[in-house]
Amino acid sequence: MINNNEWFRIVCESYEGNNSSYDELALPKFPPESIQVNTTGLSGKEALREAFIFYEDCTKAFNKAGNAISRIDKILDFGVGWGRIARFF
C-alpha cells in the first residue's frame, strides 16, 4: 500500500502524461485546461492539490469512524465536473 503523498505524486504524473496507470489499472484522462478552469477556477496540479485536500479530509474522517476505505468499496460521484476529486478515491 502506498502513502497519500505517493498517491498524489502518481496522479500528478498522470496529468503530466508521465504515467497512465497504477497497479495495472488505467488512470482517468484529463480534460483540456479550459474545461478545468471553467468548472473549478483552477487547472493542473493546483486543481488536483485542492481536490486532494478534500480526499485526505474524507479518508481521515472515515478512518476515525472505523470505516476505512478499501479497494472493494464503491464511491458514488454525483457531481458534474471532470472527476478531479473522484480520481483520488
pLDDT attached to residue 71: 82
Amino acid at 50: E
Three-class secondary structure of residue 21 per DSSP: strand
Q: Domain range for residue 54? A: 4-88
pLDDT attached to residue 43: 96
Question: Is this model's pTM higher than 0.75 or not?
Answer: yes
pLDDT attached to residue 66: 95
Of 18, 23, 20, the residue nearest 1 (C-alpha):
23
Q: What is the mean pLDDT of each run of 10 residues along the chain (89 residues)?
A: 92 90 91 95 96 95 93 82 91
In the chain, the number of structural domains is 1
For residue 62, give the C-alpha cell.
472515515
